[in-house]
Structure 1
Amino acid sequence: MALRVDDASSNESAIITCLVSVLAVAYFAWNVKKSRKANAKLPPGPRGLPTFTELAGVYGPIFKLWVGKKLCVVVSSPSLVKQVVRDQDITFANRDPPIAGLVASFGGNDILFSNYGPEWRKLRKLFVGKLMSNASLDACYALRKQEVKNIIRDLYNNNKTGIGKPIDVGELSISTFVCVIQNMLWGEALELREKGISNLGAELKFKLAELVVLMGTPNISDIIPCFHGLIYKYRNKVSVVEGEGGAGNNIEGRNKDFLQLLLELQENEDSASSISTIQLKALLVDIISGGTDTTTTTVEWTMTELMHYPRVMKKVQEELAQVVGMDSCVEEFHLPKLKYLDAVVKETFRLHSVPYLVPRRASQSSSIGGYTVPKDTTIILNVWAIHRDPQIWDNPLEFGPEKFFNDGIASKFDYSGNNFQYLPFGAGRRMCAGIALAERMLMFVLASLLHSFDWKLPAGTKLDLSEKFGILIKKKEPLVAIPTPRLPNSELYQ
């Protein structure tokens, strides 16, 4: 009996030893294969996952990162960016969205996160051709103008006592943009204000802030697929566009708005120009998030830099006084003449825009800068490093609108994505589709705030310039400032 027990124990030990040996050999073989694959002609790079915005100076303009089993290639020079977004644009036109991005876009059914193909081309064509056309944006100008006038009036009324009330500039700008977008989408912001129902703007602000943080923060489910289900709890962050609050209902009798155009496309029997309900919802997410958080962040950073450099603030206001006049309000037709303010905004985008463009994914094996890029590799375009490259920019860490003020330079550095040294809105076929609206809204709101008011910090406070990383480079601490009316005619504030 003792012999049988010893034999059983011996057999069990042999089996365990054999299994461990097989697993060790398999792991070693896999590791060797991965090492050979990684070191064949792949770019240099660390084994782990440090902050890639700081690695360009260590490994050069192109390097690799392993995120779990996912290979990422980071590109940090204009010439290599050109290879990605122009020379091989179709090869690198697919997306590699994070799980939070997929959830927010209803499974990648929007313009931002969907892969390149017929459906994406249709969505972008409809969005740019119908919603972002000059005719469509011109038709909505009265809505934008009214919302800006409402904000100017409210700020003025807060100063009637002669004691300026501190204003959170980020909250001010996002409430403005939310109301503008609501009006352009479904024409309800004014109705909600008249009814005293202003909670939708605050709710959107909260949801959008969380959504942007989520989509810009690495998630364990992006590396380990078994965690995918956890992220779906964030779906309620964008539920507001699914019809809560009656959005999109009772549209008869109003001027045609964006949502009505989308609903008409949804009902279109022509498959070449029709969209599904899921695509409609995803497009609404693109419009709401892209049309509010990006512009809000830029307004806050622009105001912060202007308060940090009073000389620049003075020059902006002098230009506004000359172009607009102290007896008039800002109109959109003034904007093309505001050259110095345009330079200020461009410099703000250079220093405080996106740290990197939305990642792309290689649809087939290719090469960048002589290095192999295997199929399904994630491509990250490091705008943060390019916008701070001392070989491109004089005093790259210093805020200076004069970098863009010369006429020749201004035309060279625009938002078209044709100059790969300056990419605040991306480049190639996957560049931002909402540039036209973003540029109009951003310049109009900034010009109106700066023309109508002087701005100063509350007594005893200091200007904070620290940053917070995400899809956007946000301010770590909100900008709180006191506006003081500067126009002589009080009727201009009504």
Structure 2
Amino acid sequence: MIAIIVEFQNFFIFILLCLFSLLCHSLFFKKPKDSRSFVLPSSPPSLPIIGHLHLLLSVLTHKSLQKLSSKYGPLLLIRIFYVPIILVSSSSMAYEIFKAHDVNVSSRGIIALDESLMFGASGILNAPYGDYWKFMKKLMATKLLRPQVLERSRGVRVEELHRFYRSILDKATKNESVEIGKEAMKLMNNTLCKLIMGRSFSEDNGESNRVRGLVDETYALSEKIFLAAILRRPLAKLRISLFKKEIMGVSNKFDELLERILQERKENLEEKNNEGMDMMDVLLEAYGDENAEYKITWKHIKAFFVEFFIGGTDTSVQTTQWAMAEMINNANVLERLREEIVSVVGETRLIQETDLPNLPYLQAVVKEVLRLHPPSPVLIRKFQEKCEVKGFYIPEKTTLIVNVYAIMRDSDSWEDPEKFKPERFLTSSRSGEEDEKELKFLPFGSGRRGCPGANLGSIFVGTAIGVMVQCFDWKIKEDKVNMEETFEGMTLKMVHPLTCTPFFEPNLYLLLLISKFPCLILSFGAC
């Protein structure tokens, strides 16, 4: 949070904000009538005007919140300027809220910048729990992300996975180092592009670099977008719009790109059949359906793709990078995983998506990485109506922050919570599904607002990790990977991106032949 404040070029805005917060404090924090019957959650000591901001002056906000909870309790009332926030940091409190008050907290409550395609009023991410959100949720469940649809698009992901393998193989044969995040980014970008619009962005004309650049710009702006959304209502009264020029600059670039692609696709939609339709075709069909339950607009489609692309890229990339870093630091885990893959897949073909259900240790590795390094360490919701949680009164329109990071490192729920131990998710030890039901494990959120792309993301990460472990050994210059983390762009990232050198495994020589001579793929059984 402090990083954003420091970036304010005009300190006068900050002064105005403080003055406005002081004026509004009495209005927002008046005790309800008959307050003797209401018991608010406990609150740490605060300062006038800024509230608890001084306790949160850290880039690693999730860790600052974790420290607060460990000292004052798992359910806290804190305040940043005039904004009241309920902070939840235990699985039992999260369970109580998501199971008993799921509908009440099914809106994020962030007032978005209407015109922006990134997390704006037309997007699904910040859409209130209403007709539009329900329509898009149903469309994703039935036509965009359901298992049968993902199965039909498996060939797209196979092709990009082979491309990913060949890229690393080329560097291995040249003894060149690999920046895992960059290679994973290419894989995720191209795969998502093909799923969305049936083709990958071209590297030759710079289109791919432009798209990756827009995604990077969006993540760099996401904290500003969030802050602008949180403070939009009070600042609007002062006719101040934070970061609007920067946000709309990136949004307009996305708009120009998608407008051209959508217009081209709309002209060719009639020639498509249901089997050959990608996500863009499905949404264009819904757009043209006069009898649809909800009439979506051109802007809804653009905003959906921008948010889907952004949400599905960096999260998978960071999880893949964290996984490889943990395994390089824990060689026994990497060797055990390689042995499992070889025993199930063999040495004559690359790992496939259909192998994932038969690779429990790989699944355990992915879950343990998500536990230790959740892509989004905090979840943000809003109580639409007043309610009671564990006997405490929660006023309406109160922001809810669930510290996922703290919950998944809670010593009351996890043995050796700071250690990387995939074995904890094996069925013989403890059921991962049980942890999810108890909300001890919630990297994808929970309730109606849980991530709809969790299954697809697990496929991306599982196959990418599988290929890198199956086919290569990895060396780093240092003894250990530096695991220092930073919370930027609303995503948990490595301060020092993982760079290591791949070495081709001699016992997988057939895979080398397959990559050089694709005609051998059928002979050796690769997909």
Q: Provide the TM-score with structure 2 as the length reference.
A: 0.81
Which one is further off, 350-359 or 370-379?
350-359
1:464 to 478, 482, 507: 482
Query: Which residue is 1:353 aligned to?
Result: 374
Question: Is 2:41 the partner of 1:52?
Answer: no
Query: Which residue is 1:185 aligned to?
Result: 196
CA distance in 1, matches of 2:29, 2:355: 59
**Identity %, equivalent residues:** 24
1:222 to 230, 246, 249: 230
Question: Is 2:189 the partner of 1:207?
Answer: no
The superposition leaves residues 67-86 of structure 1 with CA deviations (integer Å, 9 ceiling, x where unpaired) of 11110000112221122212
Q: 3-state DSSP class of the match of 1:409?
A: coil
2:29 to 34, 54, 69: 34
Q: 3-state DSSP class of the match of 1:95?
A: coil
Question: Is 2:513 the partner of 1:491?
Answer: yes
Question: Is 2:247 the partner of 1:247?
Answer: no
Cα shift at 1:237: 2.8
CA contact under 8 A between 1:169 and 1:480: conserved in structure 2? yes
Distance 1:392 1:102, change over 3 A: farther
Query: Which residue is 1:8 aligned to?
Result: none
CA contact under 8 A between 1:94 and 1:116: conserved in structure 2? yes
Distance 1:289 1:221, change over 3 A: closer
Q: 3-state DSSP class of the match of 1:247?
A: helix
Question: Is 2:166 the partner of 1:166?
Answer: no
The superposition leaves residues 155-192 of structure 1 with CA deviations (integer Å, 9 ceiling, x where unpaired) of 2223334xx111110011011100001111112217x2
Question: Is 2:443 the partner of 1:405?
Answer: no
The superposition leaves residues 271-305 of structure 1 with CA deviations (integer Å, 9 ceiling, x where unpaired) of 40542112111210222012111101100000000
5+ residue gaps, structure 1, are: 1-26
CA contact under 8 A between 2:41 and 2:76: conserved in structure 1? yes
Distance 1:57 1:405, change over 3 A: same
Distance 1:443 1:460, change over 3 A: closer
CA distance in 2, matches of 1:318, 1:446: 14
Which one is further off, 107-116 or 323-332?
107-116
Query: Which residue is 2:19 aligned to?
Result: none
CA contact under 8 A between 2:228 and 2:243: conserved in structure 1? no
CA contact under 8 A between 1:329 and 1:492: conserved in structure 2? no
Q: Provide the TM-score with structure 1 as the length reference.
A: 0.86
Matched residues, number = 460
CA RMSD of aligned residues (A): 2.7
CA distance in 1, matches of 2:491, 2:116: 19
2:187 to 176, 188, 198: 176
5+ residue gaps, structure 2, are: 1-21, 47-51, 56-63, 517-527
Q: What letter corresponds to residue 333 of structure 1 in structure 2?
A: T
Distance 1:367 1:182, change over 3 A: same
Query: Which residue is 1:431 aligned to?
Result: 450
Cα shift at 1:28: 10
CA distance in 2, matches of 1:316, 1:283: 36
Which one is further off, 252-261 or 112-121?
252-261
CA contact under 8 A between 2:378 and 2:402: conserved in structure 1? yes
Distance 1:350 1:57, change over 3 A: same
CA distance in 1, matches of 2:24, 2:245: 37
Question: Is 2:162 the partner of 1:149?
Answer: yes
Distance 1:373 1:327, change over 3 A: same
CA contact under 8 A between 1:109 and 1:279: conserved in structure 2? yes
CA distance in 2, matches of 1:355, 1:136: 27
Query: Which residue is 2:409 aligned to?
Result: 388
